Chain A
Amino acid sequence: MDFEPSDTQRALLDALGTLLSRHAGTQRSRQLAVRGAYDHELESELRAAGFLDLFGDSGAGPLEATLAVERIGAELGAITPVPHLLVLPALGLPVPEGPVVLADHERSGPVRYGREARQILTAGTDRCAAAELSPDEAEPVPSAYGHPLARVVPRRAEELAPGTAGTMVRWWRVGVSAEALGMMQRAFDLTVAYTKDRTVFGRALGSLQALQHRLAELSVLLEGARWLTYEAAFRGATAESSAVAAAHTMAALHRLTRETHQITGAVGLTREHDLHLWTLRLQALRAELGGLRAHRRAVVTSRWGVAAA
């Protein structure tokens, strides 16, 4: 057991941090959000630097790719890091340029970057189906939640090999957990910093025990989510470890959204304050794969071998 990052992992995250400080972050996110645009430039930089190849890289692997997804989430990278860094490599599929949509056959609804995406991967009961998307058929929908959303209609679906749906869903669970984790940590840090600076009734907001305990409980949830996610990636996204990581992370997400906004008060509800950049985008992650309830039921299916409800 070793809970400390290796030298390789440190170096990799340092390099990624440098790249993201130039090509992502709050300012860039705000600029792109105005146009509802996918960040092709960031994707291209990540590809050129080899970050899209981490999953199968002999010097790195799925855990390193997961750490990178977390970091991209934290820096509000306007790309689709989960399919690019985890799901497509896990399925042995090429990683195309531009956004890729992940979907599951049980649920329909608007998807992130649906208008720009040319490819959609849908998890069936056993196999995945890969399909093209046509921009003519995408129907953008208005949304205040940060990501450009659209309803899409897949065309010319190609069925992949048996068992691929399981692989896709398990890595998707790890990926959405990692992405959420990076975003949640930033929202949390921002809120903690706010409670130290903000004075109420002549004392720092963060000195009130009623708030301290809630922030402390959030930190426990976040740390649990962090290590469960890393462990799931290390274990190759087994059915149980990936479901447990997603269930715990999404439970943390629910709580974090409420608490960060409650504690930062009205200023946290403004566009001027950065908090919403993470908390609104997080809600799209919350909806994926059926959300918290579905992740929890998947824990039961994998742990105790019962059919999905």
Chain B
Amino acid sequence: MEFALSEADAAFRSDLVGFLDRELAEGWNRSEHGLGSAVYTDFSRDFVRTLAAKGWLTPHWPKEYGGGGQGAWQHFVLGEEMWKRGEPRGPQYMNVNWVGPSLIKYGTEEQKAALLPPIARGEVFWCQGFSEPEAGTDLAALRTRAVREGEGYVLNGQKIWTSYANEADYCFLLARTGSVSDGRNGISVFLLPLSTPGVEVRRIDGFVGAHSFNELFLTDVRVPGNCLLGEENKGWDIVRRTLAYERVGAPRYARAARVLDGLADWCRAAGLLTDPGVQEQFGHARALCEAARVLVHRVIDERAKTKEPSPMAYQARAAMVQAERAVGDLALDVMGSEALVEQSPGDAQFRNSLGAGIAAGSYEVQLNLISRLILKLPKE
């Protein structure tokens, strides 16, 4: 056992921190701009190109696909430092964390050649077309259909809660190619250009970010056969793998811990940080952030050793939810009505924390999976 980064990885972190200190304007953070807002998205478009030019957008991808061939820890350190600063890569974290790796693993040479270089250069946005009005936590119930027509497919259906669909160029979309009774065995992945006729994006007004929810309507959307990723009806395996990347791909505890530091500054200035009750709540929240960090690190260690993703990722993600909620609650408890003021240190954290246990697989699903796969509790 060893709980320190290698010298090379620690040096990388130090370079990265220096770079971010220079590149990100004083006070940059998502709470000021809002997830999905025009200011935020425009900023991230330019920022990721700068990152790409330094080789820091896809450092963990193989070199032949525009990556740097670096290890899992450098990729992770990158994510940790980005989340600490409000994720200035915007939706790009999805591209580099799991859209790209899924294409690398399952794509044809033609798909890789066409789709990977623009991601590696930071030129495109992808969104994730998974959830539907009747299929969220029970994703395998999805109904969007893809019917073969000649060499291609015709897509019809509806997706919902699609973050960044308003800005994205492509959607990593799940559709049913088999029958509903096939359940998981009748689902395929489509790589859908959102400029295709028949695709309509509508905004849903939410309060977690400026523009974080969208609906995607697909009406007789005709796509060529090369939009299919992997084999027909084998999409569930791809998704399982994809979600394994996503569960710990966004180190949200890093941002929560940073917000907690900001809240401690706020409380110190307000003369509250010496209050024993306030101290206890801070100690509780900090311990949860640290527990989430160490559990995520355990998953990264597994990935760095190129093992198959294990169910430990579910514990890590559950711990992240607990940490985000604790910091969000603390913000409101200690700041009082000051936390209700838009753009206050507590405001964004509290509103984000309401979604912490919902996005990327609900908290309860993580608990189900832990019960079944780690504790081996019986179904009946």
**B-contacting residues of A (Cβ < 8 Å)?**
1-6, 9, 63, 192, 195-196, 203-204, 206-207, 209, 212-213, 215-217, 219-221, 223-225, 227-228, 230-231, 234-235, 243-244, 247-248, 251, 293, 295-301, 303-304, 306-307, 309
Contacts and interface: CB of A to CB of B under 8 A. Distances in A.
A216 B375 contact: yes
- 4 A-B pairs closest in CB distance: A296-B283, A224-B291, A299-B283, A212-B371
Contacts of A203: 378, 380
A50 to B, nearest CB: 20
A300 B273 contact: yes
Given A3-B1, A234-B1, A223 B282 contact: no
A55 to B, nearest CB: 16
A213 B292 CA distance: 18
10 contacts: A1-B3, A3-B302, A196-B378, A204-B377, A206-B371, A207-B379, A221-B291, A296-B281, A299-B287, A304-B273
Contact of A1 (B288, B301, B377): B301
Interface of B: 1-6, 73, 261, 264, 268, 273-276, 279-284, 286-288, 290-292, 294-295, 297-298, 300-302, 304, 312, 315, 318-319, 322, 364, 366-368, 370-371, 374-380
| Chain B interface SS verdict (over half) | helix
A293 B280 contact: yes
A23 B139 CA distance: 52
| Chain A interface SS verdict (over half) | helix
B1 A6 contact: yes
Contacts, number: 166
Given A216-B370, A296-B282, A1 B73 contact: yes
Contacts of B5: 1
Contact of B294 (A9, A227, A298, A306): A227
A1 B283 contact: no
Contacts of B273: 300, 304, 306
A4 B284 contact: no
A306 B274 contact: yes
B283 A234 contact: no
Contact of A219 (B268, B283, B375): B375
Which of B261, B275, B297, B370 has the most chain A CB atoms closer than 10 A to its own CB? B370
B291 A228 contact: yes
A297 B280 contact: yes
Contacts of A234: 1-4
